[in-house]
Copies of this chain bind each other. A is one copy, B any other.
């Protein structure tokens, strides 16, 4: 009821951030980045649009979790480098310490496999073959990421206090899971072809 009289300098206290925002905070905690930089980094691990990043950044800037400063460039457009404030650093820590929601799988291939019995043999084999291709690419991509990391960040990827450690363990995890998935696909392919040897 006294909302008309709110003082203009009310300090922004606690703001609810969406999942992406925390990932962005995680990126700029490593080094100050432009919105475009953040997009490039995140894109390796999950699909993300630049527009989402800019929107999230502007919200967090308003909430004073990040600050930005203009950097003049020649040959390229100027960029606004964002870095964490103390409040931003707090926000990450609180988030990590807080409750964690369960993982959600969002995989159209799996949804299709759920109805695989419903499709003809040719389609089944094509679906699995496409997946195998994707998995092979994905594994190659992450193997080269791992090689890069081990080449450039000497030893730091073994120290839990360095960000290279976080990246290394996640790359390892993703590789392990993709390799399991690949094995599973190969077994499925064999099962399908052994049942209908003529149509392969």
Q: Does A13 contact B (CB under 8 A)?
A: no
CB contacts (< 8 Å) of A26 on chain B: these are 111, 114-115, 118
Q: Which B-chain residue is minimally distant from A120 (CB atoms)?
A: B93
Q: Does A75 contact B (CB under 8 A)?
A: no
CB contacts (< 8 Å) of A6 on chain B: these are none
* Max chain B Cβ within 10 angstroms of own Cβ: one of A25, A106, A123: A106
Q: Which B-chain residue is minimally distant from A131 (CB atoms)?
A: B100
Interchain CB contact under 8 A, B163 and A117:
yes
Known contacts A93-B123, A96-B123, A181-B173: does B117 contact A108 (CB below 8 Å)?
A: no
CB contacts (< 8 Å) of A106 on chain B: these are 19, 103-106
CB contacts (< 8 Å) of A111 on chain B: these are 19, 22-23, 26
**How many A residues touch the partner, as a band?**
35 or more
What 1/0 flags go to A61-101 for Cβ under 8 Å of B? 00000000000000000000000000001001101110011
Interchain CB contact under 8 A, B160 and A117:
yes
Interchain CB contact under 8 A, B160 and A172:
no
Interchain CB contact under 8 A, A46 and B172:
no
Write 28 A-B pairs (CB below 8 A) sorted by A numbering: A22-B111, A22-B112, A23-B114, A25-B115, A46-B105, A47-B102, A92-B115, A93-B118, A93-B119, A93-B120, A96-B119, A96-B123, A96-B127, A97-B126, A100-B127, A105-B105, A113-B166, A113-B173, A114-B170, A116-B165, A116-B169, A117-B161, A117-B163, A121-B160, A160-B192, A169-B188, A176-B181, A180-B180
- Which residues from chain A sit less than 8 Å from chain B, CB to CB? 19, 22-23, 25-26, 29, 45-47, 89, 92-93, 95-97, 100-121, 123-124, 126-127, 130-131, 134, 159-163, 165-167, 169-170, 172-173, 176-177, 180-181, 183-184, 188, 191-192, 195
